[in-house]
Structure 1
Amino acid sequence: MLKNKINWIFAIAILALSFQACEDPDTTFDPINPDLSEDAILGTSQSAARTLNGLERQLAEVAGEYVHLAEIASDNYDNTQTFFNQFLDILNVTSTDNDINDTQFEIARLRELAKSGLNIIGPGDPNYTADQEAEFLFFIGLSHLLSAELFTVLPAEPQGAAQPASAHYALAIDFFEQGAAKASNPATQVSCLMGQARANYYAGNQAAAVTAADAAIAADPGFVRFVKFDVLNGARIDNEMQNAIHDRGSFDDLQPLPRLDFLDPKYNDDNASQDIDMPLLKIEEAHLIKCEAAIADGALGTAQSIMKDIIALVATRPTSTFDDSVEDRTERNPGTRPDSSIVVVASSPGAALVGGLVIDRKVGNVTIPTVSGTSVTDAMVDAVGSEDEALELLYLMRQEIFIAEGRRMTDMGVKFVVSEIEQLANANIKVEDTTPVLPSFFTSIAAELDGITYDATTFECTITHDVNAIIVANKTSDFVCPFH
């Protein structure tokens, strides 16, 4: 425990050094505490390892800032209270939003700490290894990947001009490729391969995405890399998404879309001293990428076969059984949300009513997937009759598999903007950089994005808009479906 605290202090010192070095290379790091001087940090044994520990901590800080925001901005969750962001639920994306500002700067801190590890700390460490270098490259790539996924434009360096998502994806791919080539550790190598696959996917590079996905599957068919949380040994590195969907109990802050009820809460307090780790990269995504490529190529049979592989893979993932009776779906407005296993749900007005999606909580223990889950069955896959039907089913699988991981917002084409604080401090940021660019097919229904109607007497729930169907209807738009 003490060792971890020392590692965090060490990493924070490195982070301060890296920001100063990037913004003004002529200044020197001159802290008040002589134990945190540059000489006490650089060139020391195990300094690279400690910096990597600090990067894991910083990644937890990043996830703690953005994941719940991205989930609120999507149709996955309805924010029913005032404790979390009140603007993003209706796609009110503004440069003055403090949450968006914090997300931007936590990503920048991740990038700059990783760059210091790669360029300064690692080379001066007598115990520096190629795998550590590969991990630094991975974290730099990840910072650019998150920049592109979450923001329309964002600087790629301190005081730099705002770069479009396409530029950040290109940078991410480059760093991930370097990391994969450098790594001998299988986990690091597959992390970089999955990063390549994901960045190439969103960039629309179909062939490259599939190649990286195939390589990742071959290397580790059960791969998962987690964001690690350590409540005991660090300041504010808890799983904020866990707070939002479970730990605040009967406050019911974030309510899941009823068709996703059986997947919530993905994170719980089964271990009171440790928040549940969050999937960051997992091999399911490699299969999902290959499936979407097959659909785009018109290979419907291949896509159906891959979907069945995904279903089988998801069935092997762990679950958590815990008492969720304290949580309530309708505490504020009794009878307004489904909270019983007899409820049937329609994905849109006029769609078929489906059972088995809402679970009973008041009875006590529930069992929830902690890595991946899906309601899609082989029979549903067999019933697919067209490429659009396959694509809609695939996006339902993506929605279910990535729930509470901050991915759905990006799949919907919704992104944040550069912070006003950045604009005021950085002369290279233009006013247009702080203007949101959002898909009109979602902004036009922003107030109803996660809307439902529920009849507590018939136990029938209808979702106002089927977002997956809207995504497919607009598949040729630049906002969604990268391979179409």
Structure 2
Amino acid sequence: MKTYIKNILMAVVACAFIAGCKVDNPNITDDVYLTTTNVSTTWLTGLRRQMALTLNQVIVNTELVSDNYYNNRTLSNKVFDIPQIDNYDLDVNSIQSAIQRLRVSSEYGISKVVTADATTTPAQKAEMYFFNAYSHVLSGELFVGLPGTDKGPVLNPAAHYALALTALDQAIAFQPDATEKLAYTLLKARVYYDMGDATNAKAFATAAMANPLLLKQQVFDGSNSAPNDFQTYIFSSTNNEFAPLPRLDFLDPKYYNTGTVALDQKPVSYIKSEEAYLIVAEVQVSQNDLTGAQTTLKNLLTQVIANRATASLNDAKETRNGGNRTDYPLTAVKVKFDANDIERSGYVLNRQAGNITIATISGTKVTADDINAATTQDALLYLVYRMRQEIFISEGRRMTDLGIKFPVSQTEQLNNPNVKAADMVAQIPSFIPLGKGMDDFTNNTATGVVTMKYDMNKVLVSNKTAKEIFPFIN
């Protein structure tokens, strides 16, 4: 059966949902489309758009599942905050569909478009392989398993990581730009991290540290139906849809607009050198090289984060007025990470007192003194994961650090006889608090102290040998 292409300039969107790639515009067939001028250029335009749409699905939903953000209104998933993750949940299917579209569209570009277009450049080939690799990275990190082909067997994360590495090797081989090569190299380090391969993770992360300000971002287009959805939820919406855990308040909003919403869509940083330092430090901690880990983390503060961009923002309209919780602190109160913690200042900002300073790429409250004071493996593991949480906030990474994975969607199961019962069950580790506990806190207005119910980084360290987390400890 012929595959039909809905729109040349957004060709990637033509790939259908999970069970195939058939759409219904009879005017432009594969054969016609592949003979158009500069087809690789137009296909890549579509692929980049699909990457934006995929990141929208990933970030919005995984941030809700995690302890980073709470759904403070009603427009998004109502149960991910619990966390409750069902295979029949429409959002599970939407996330899977977006990732599969990215995979199928990149495969079509590599197998069909590149072959048809003699003007395809090595850099264009590299980018298509890169998108293919990223689809497999997301498949492995976010799901208990996903098919790697149309109606094919459900591949476990390890199989997706292997496919990602193969595609990344191709991307690196074709890519002429040295900075892009380093970005691909860092993604290889992330894949080896996911696989628990400390030797290769550290080697590729160290190579990527050659550029301490390495950064790859996804842009969005609010004028052409590809806005940054997370920006809408945390800033642009009239109601404050998502509210951060109070101890993360100082990092919100990472995305915002100062001009017209449609024209001022902030990019998402999805590959950045901070990750290289964090990977190396975690390897060092796992091998009990505590002094080395301390040096790496302090270098992360001085060589990278201190040199990242910040912005001064008028956020006076932020009142956490979503309505599901009405006790969010709005002034510069103190916070305790849990009931046994000390009182800490500077985590909740008074947005009515004037402009606030926001870290647009990476921020953290961890200091060199904190790092120097962490003299045991557990203390340093705690700081590594606290820094990962603060540095990657609003980027869709925290759910994976918590060991949570989505199931294969019911839509896939109904169309694919290879899906087994075990594939349709989410991975939620036994140490994850239920009942919205990860997002819970008490606000003592009399004492001016907000106390988190759980310090999830402390919970992670207490369960460091659990198979779902800490890839180098197990």
Instruction: Please tell me the TM-score bracket, short chain as reference.
Output: over 0.9
Structure 1 segment 126-165 matched on structure 2, within 5 A:
126-165=118-157
Q: 2:215 matched to 1:217?
A: no
- Tell me the equivalent position of 2:353: 363
Q: Give 1:398's aligned amino acid.
A: R
Match of 1:246 among 235, 238, 249: 235
Q: 2:154 matched to 1:166?
A: no
Q: 2:168 matched to 1:180?
A: no
8 Å Cα contact 1:114/1:136 also seen in 2: yes
Q: 2:94 matched to 1:102?
A: yes
Q: What are the Cα deviations for residues 181-214 of structure 1, in whole angstroms up to 9, with x where unaligned?
A: 2211124312211210111101101111111111
Give percent identity, aligned residues only. 35
Structure 1 segment 370-449 matched on structure 2, within 5 A:
370-442=360-432, 444-449=433-438
Structure 1 segment 18-417 matched on structure 2, within 5 A:
31-33=25-27, 36-218=28-210, 220-232=211-223, 234-235=224-225, 237-249=226-238, 251-272=239-260, 273-312=263-302, 313-329=304-320, 332=323, 336-341=327-332, 343-417=333-407
From the superposition, tell whether residues 31 and 81 of structure 1 become closer, same or farther in structure 2 (CA, over 3 Å).
closer
> Aligned-pair distance for 1:458?
1.2
Q: 2:472 matched to 1:480?
A: no
> Aligned-pair distance for 1:319?
1.4
8 Å Cα contact 1:336/1:456 also seen in 2: no
Q: What are the Cα deviations for residues 332-351 of structure 1, in whole angstroms up to 9, with x where unaligned?
A: 4897222212x111111121
8 Å Cα contact 1:166/1:203 also seen in 2: yes
SS in 2 for 1:368: strand
> Aligned-pair distance for 1:159?
0.6
Distance 1:446 1:203 in 2: 31
8 Å Cα contact 2:222/2:264 also seen in 1: yes
- Tell me the equivalent position of 1:4: none
From the superposition, tell whether residues 307 and 432 of structure 1 become closer, same or farther in structure 2 (CA, over 3 Å).
same
Q: Give 1:108's aligned amino acid.
A: Q
- Give unpaired runs (5+ residues) of structure 1: 1-6
8 Å Cα contact 1:229/1:274 also seen in 2: no
Q: Give 1:458's aligned amino acid.
A: T
8 Å Cα contact 1:78/1:257 also seen in 2: yes
From the superposition, tell whether residues 217 and 40 of structure 1 become closer, same or farther in structure 2 (CA, over 3 Å).
same
Q: Give 2:449's aligned amino acid.
A: E
Q: What are the Cα deviations for residues 105-162 of structure 1, in whole angstroms up to 9, with x where unaligned?
A: 1111111111111111012212112221111111110000001111111111111111
The size of the alignment, in residue pairs, is 465
From the superposition, tell whether residues 14 and 90 of structure 1 become closer, same or farther in structure 2 (CA, over 3 Å).
closer
SS in 2 for 1:10: coil
SS in 1 for 2:414: helix
SS in 1 for 2:446: coil
> Aligned-pair distance for 1:56?
0.9
SS in 2 for 1:280: strand
Q: What are the Cα deviations for residues 384-431 of structure 1, in whole angstroms up to 9, with x where unaligned?
A: 120100010111100000000010000000111111111111111122
- Give unpaired runs (5+ residues) of structure 2: none
Q: What are the Cα deviations for residues 322-381 of structure 1, in whole angstroms up to 9, with x where unaligned?
A: 22111103674897222212x111111121111011111123422211100000111111
Distance 2:103 2:177 in 1: 22
Q: Give 1:107's aligned amino acid.
A: I
From the superposition, tell whether residues 112 and 333 of structure 1 become closer, same or farther in structure 2 (CA, over 3 Å).
closer
Whose helix proportion is higher, 1 or 2? Answer: 1
From the superposition, tell whether residues 371 and 300 of structure 1 become closer, same or farther in structure 2 (CA, over 3 Å).
same
Distance 1:450 1:23 in 2: 38
8 Å Cα contact 2:12/2:47 also seen in 1: no
Q: What are the Cα deviations for residues 246-303 of structure 1, in whole angstroms up to 9, with x where unaligned?
A: 1114x22211111111100110012321310111110100110000000011100010
From the superposition, tell whether residues 431 and 215 of structure 1 become closer, same or farther in structure 2 (CA, over 3 Å).
same
SS in 1 for 2:209: helix
From the superposition, tell whether residues 44 and 331 of structure 1 become closer, same or farther in structure 2 (CA, over 3 Å).
closer
> Aligned-pair distance for 1:14?
5.6
Distance 2:300 2:463 in 1: 25
8 Å Cα contact 1:43/1:126 also seen in 2: no
TM-score (structure 1 length as normaliser): 0.92
Q: Give 2:439's aligned amino acid.
A: D
Greater than 4 Å deviation, 4+ residue runs: none
Q: Give 2:49's aligned amino acid.
A: R
TM-score (structure 2 length as normaliser): 0.94
Which range is displaced more, 115-124 or 390-399?
A: 115-124
